């Protein structure tokens, strides 16, 4: 799914109106119907809504939603500032509400003394993607007041105060939603931690904006959706053998950190590589042979990996628990000097590379590095916020001709040609030591199976998050472990075959 800027979304709206022969008002009605339907499906038992409407088309949505919910029998109260200059469609929808006896429109100021029933849902239709400056004055006070209410809060299109594609200022006033019903596609600000935190759960509502515009309009930022995954995923060939699915080698571990090797190796095995090897120190031999009997062990030293003796033609994932011992560093750097094939590089292997900017030039072209934000800062320097971090990652991915998997709540896969794929699977149950080791194993296994580096990174990030979501469903976010995530990889492949592939078939 492409991510568009607010200007592009406006063009998309206009293109749709022209090509469908509909007015702005009719498109707004579509948007409002889609939201009203969602409210009915999810909150049928709650019969009270307080809807706050601005003067632009986002406010227009709010008025139209109010009318539809009221007509369905819900109790609705509107708050608006009728002295404002309304957009044409907002004015028409406001008038329609005024014409309904029983549907009350109060002033914003009245909200302060209003007694909201306990189960009233607060709906934010103050500002949408037309916001063009930080919110101040009476709107800021109103939003602060609403944020302090202990009620369920839902934003229409985007929480008021956020721009679709920009970072917010320090101390910005933003409506804090539990859920956001956004039209047609994700907005960039929903995917970054500083801004996304205001959105709650995102629900993308299809309002049938033009497919033609979507395919013609360029965007180098995308959300990894199931359509993309369905195109990448290669089901297994029944006439295959273990040689068909490549050799993956996990290069990892040091004394006290053998668990990281276990997790990475199990994740690689579960992701389908034909043969899986472990290059680890001898101190982990018994643990690894017992916990991962399907993998073959190669000793890389006593307590650390100091000898990169690699199985021929195998794809390497290097780093978890590796340590940064000087002998490990020396042998890793020497190995890099001889290595031409793409690697997957994580954790301590990245920490070694961050010691000297010249080391970065040793990374083979088309390799995949998987830093978390701290590792990223060690490698490339600090940045002010996650938007700036992404910009720097784009620059570095291009300069080094590598793929960067920038791990986060919405992990970003950055390609050497400046595209960004945001991952939307995964959850906070994965915020535990060991989750990253699993990701390295998964991506290494996919790369070994001849997925291109780009596809291995995108598919790997998605698969990892989806397995995390399945694990959270079974065990809760608190109790799930990276091992549970690995155990769920099989269910994700089942899901892919049952749910995603059939949708993707062209016939
Ligand atoms: N038919 C369609 O196109 C469809 C559009 N749709 C909906 O429209 C939304 C976009 O609507 P929009 O472009 O009218 O902008 P919107 O966000 O409502 O507000 C802009 C208004 O706010 C003002 N303003 C801005 N910043 C401000 C500030 N800080 N403090 C105070 N005022 C500020 C600005 O006025 P200004 O003062 O700049 O002249 C302007 O009056 C979109 O998110 C979706 O919900 C859907 O219904 C689908 C069909
Ligand atoms: N809140 C979260 N939401 C989604 N994914 C998360 C969250 N927290 C962590 N993750 C994922 O878990 C992994 C953690 O990796 P990392 O920090 O390297 O862990 P470790 O090195 O301890 O195994 C990353 O893939 C990250 O995207
Ligand atoms: K809004």
Domain final residue, candidates 172, 197, 219 = 219
Residues 497, 377 share a domain: yes
Counted domains in the chain:
2
Instruction: Report which bound ligand comes closest to the CA of 135.
Output: 1
Range of the domain at 294: 229-504
> Which residue owns the Cα nearest ligand 1 atom 24?
131
- Domain annotation covers residue 1: no
Per-residue model confidence as pLDDT tens for the chain (507 residues):
999 999 999 999 999 999 999 999 999 999 999 999 999 999 878 779 999 999 999 999 999 999 999 999 999 999 999 899 999 999 999 999 999 999 999 999 999 999 999 999 999 999 999 999 999 999 999 999 999 999 999 999 999 999 999 999 999 999 999 999 999 999 999 999 999 999 999 999 999 999 999 999 999 999 999 999 999 999 999 999 998 999 999 999 999 999 999 999 999 999 999 999 999 999 999 999 999 999 999 999 999 999 998 878 999 999 999 999 999 999 999 999 999 999 999 999 999 999 999 999 999 999 999 999 999 999 999 999 999 999 999 999 999 999 999 999 999 999 999 999 999 999 999 999 999 999 999 999 999 999 999 999 999 999 999 999 999 999 999 999 999 999 999 999 999 999 888 877 655
What is the residue whose two structure tokens read 């990448």? 232
To which H or E segment does residue 31 belong?
helix 24-43
- Domain annotation covers residue 224: no
- Domain annotation covers residue 24: yes
> Which residue owns the Cα nearest ligand 1 atom 15?
130
Which residues lie with the beta carbon below 6 Å from any ligand 1 atom?
Answer: 13, 24, 27-28, 31, 54-59, 61, 87, 127-135, 139, 156-157, 183
CB environment 57-70: b (16+ within 10 A), e (fewer): bbbbbbbbbbbbbb
Instruction: Report which bound ligand comes closest to the CA of 179.
Output: 3
Instruction: List C-alpha distances in Å: 281 to 263, 284, 302, 303, 458.
Output: 16, 6, 5, 5, 31
59 Cα: distance to centroid of ligand 1 (angstroms): 8
Residues marked as binding for (6S)-NADPHX? 57-61, 128-134, 157, 260, 321, 372, 437
User: Which residues are within 8 A (CB) of 426 and not within 5 positions of it... i.e. 6 or more apart?
Assistant: 409, 410, 411, 464, 465, 466, 468, 469
Residues 206, 283 share a domain: no
Q: Which atom of ligand 2 is nearest to the CA of 407?
A: 27
107 Cα: distance to centroid of ligand 1 (angstroms): 19
54 Cα: distance to centroid of ligand 1 (angstroms): 8
Protein residues placing their CB within 5 Å of the ion ligand 3: 124, 155-156, 160
- Domain annotation covers residue 359: yes
Would you say 16 and 213 are in contact if contact means Cβ atoms under 8 Å apart? Answer: yes
C-alpha span between 191 and 361 (Å, rounded) = 30
Instruction: Report which bound ligand comes closest to the CA of 205.
Output: 1
Task: Determine if ligand 2 sits within 6 Å of the CB of residue 252.
Answer: no
Task: Determine if ligand 2 sits within 6 Å of the CB of residue 197.
Answer: no
Residues 78, 46 share a domain: yes
Residues 431, 332 share a domain: yes
**What is the arrangement of strands in the sheet containing 48-53, beginning at the earlier edge strand?**
104-107, 75-80, 48-53, 121-125, 153-156, 179-183, 201-205
- Domain annotation covers residue 435: yes
Residues 359, 212 share a domain: no
Residues 307, 391 share a domain: yes
C-alpha span between 434 and 251 (Å, rounded) = 15
Domain final residue, candidates 187, 219, 251 = 219
C-alpha span between 73 and 70 (Å, rounded) = 5
Task: Determine if ligand 2 sits within 6 Å of the CB of residue 234.
Answer: no
DSSP string, 54-109: -SSHHHHHHHHHHHHHHHTT-EEEEEE-TTS---HHHHHHHHHHHTSTT-EEEEGG
> Which residue owns the Cα nearest ligand 2 atom 16?
436
145 closest CA partner among 108, 181, 105, 117: 108
Residues 288, 368 share a domain: yes
CATH number of the CATH domain containing 321: 3.40.1190.20
């Amino acid at each position: 799914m492409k991510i568009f800027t607010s200007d592009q979304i406006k063009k998309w709206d206009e293109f749709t109106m022209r090509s469908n022969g509909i007015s702005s008002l009719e498109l707004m009605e579509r948007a409002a119907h889609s939201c009203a339907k969602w409210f009915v499906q999810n909150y049928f038992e709650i019969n009270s809504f307080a809807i706050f409407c601005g003067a632009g088309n986002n406010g227009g949505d709010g008025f139209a939603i109010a009318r539809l919910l009221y007509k369905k029998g819900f109790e609705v109260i509107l708050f608006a500032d009728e002295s404002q200059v309304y957009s044409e469609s907002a004015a028409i929808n406001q008038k329609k509400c005024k014409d309904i006896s029983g549907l009350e429109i109060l002033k914003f100021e009245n909200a302060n003394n209003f007694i909201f029933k306990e189960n009233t849902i607060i709906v934010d239709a103050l500002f949408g993607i037309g916001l063009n400056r930080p919110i101040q004055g009476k709107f800021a006070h109103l939003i602060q007041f609403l944020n302090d209410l202990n009620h369920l809060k839902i934003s229409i299109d985007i929480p008021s105060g956020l721009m679709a594609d920009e970072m917010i200022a320090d101390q910005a006033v933003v409506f804090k939603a539990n859920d956001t019903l956004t039209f047609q596609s994700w907005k960039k600000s929903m995917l970054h931690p500083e801004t996304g935190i205001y959105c709650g759960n995102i629900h993308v509502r299809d309002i049938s904006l033009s497919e033609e515009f979507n395919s013609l309009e360029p965007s180098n930022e995308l959300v990894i959706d199931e359509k993309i995954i369905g195109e990448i995923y290669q089901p297994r060939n029944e006439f295959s053998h273990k040689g068909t699915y490549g050799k993956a080698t996990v290069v990892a571990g040091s004394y006290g950190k053998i668990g990281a090797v276990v997790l990475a190796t199990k994740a690689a095995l579960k992701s389908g590589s034909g043969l899986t090897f472990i290059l680890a120190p001898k101190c982990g031999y018994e643990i690894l042979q017992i916990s991962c009997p399907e993998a073959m062990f190669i000793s890389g030293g006593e307590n650390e990996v100091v000898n990169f003796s690699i199985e021929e033609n195998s794809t390497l994932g290097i780093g978890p628990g590796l340590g940064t011992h000087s002998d490990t560093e020396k042998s890793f750097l020497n190995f890099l000097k001889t290595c031409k094939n793409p690697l997957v590089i994580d954790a301590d292997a990245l920490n070694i590379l961050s010691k000297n900017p010249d080391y970065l030039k040793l990374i083979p072209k088309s390799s995949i590095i998987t830093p978390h934000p701290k590792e990223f800062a060690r490698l490339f320097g600090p940045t002010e916020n996650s938007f700036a971090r992404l910009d720097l990652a784009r620059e570095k991915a291009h300069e080094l001709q590598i793929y960067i998997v920038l791990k986060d709540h919405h992990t970003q896969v950055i390609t050497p040609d400046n595209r960004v794929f945001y991952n939307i699977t995964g959850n906070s149950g994965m915020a535990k030591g060991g989750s990253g080791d699993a990701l390295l194993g998964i991506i290494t296994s996919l790369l070994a199976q001849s997925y291109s580096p780009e596809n291995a990174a995108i598919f790997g990030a998605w698969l990892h998050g989806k397995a995390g979501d399945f694990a959270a469903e079974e065990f809760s976010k608190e109790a799930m472990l990276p091992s549970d995530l690995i155990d769920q990889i099989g269910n994700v492949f089942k899901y892919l075959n049952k749910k995603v592939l059939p949708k993707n078939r062209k016939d």
